[in-house]
Amino acid sequence: MAPPNNRLLIKGATFLHRLLYRVSGGGIGGRFGKAPMLLLTTTGRRSGKPRTVPLLYLADGERIVVVGSNGGDDRDPAWWLNLQHDPRGQMQIGRRRRAVTAGKADPQEKARLWPQITALYAGYDEYQTRTAREIPLVVLRPEA
């Protein structure tokens, strides 16, 4: 028997998570342990189509911080590559949707925010040990 295709499993789980989150307004899929989750929609850099992923987040005042970990993979997640191409997106927290502009946290911000985000999900520290790339913290700034 062939081993399962991890990318296919992740794609299926993401689809289901996104669907349940949207239908329930975050009642289902709105938390992962003690960490809150949001849906982030970006514009595909090649397709131009909307792409939505569920992500853990940390509220930092009005700003929202997400982690470009890609599970410790050596490649940046597609959503981060999309935001580097076009920093505008949309986030949904619960039933509320807001337009956002994204940017990478600078080194001082990351030093301050990393311990807070790993307090929500300690796995990020392990992910960083798995990859040679620096895992970015991405700051989402809500538009007025």
Compute CA distances 52 → 22, 89, 108, whole Å. 11, 10, 29
pTM: 0.92
Tokens 């920093």 label which residue? Answer: 87
- What is the Cα–Cα distance from 107 to 102, expressed in whole angstroms? 16
pLDDT of 141 strictly over 80: yes
User: What does the pLDDT look like over 63-116, one tens digit per residue?
Assistant: 999 999 999 999 999 999 999 999 999 999 999 999 999 999 999 999 999 999
Q: Which pLDDT score is estimated for 9?
A: 82
Q: Which pLDDT score is estimated for 1?
A: 46
Two tokens, residue 46: 């090649």
Q: Which domains does the chain have, with CATH numbers?
A: 6-142 (2.30.110.10)
Q: Which pLDDT score is estimated for 57?
A: 98
In terms of Cβ atoms closer than 10 Å to its own Cβ (0-12, 13-18, 19+), residue 144 is: exposed
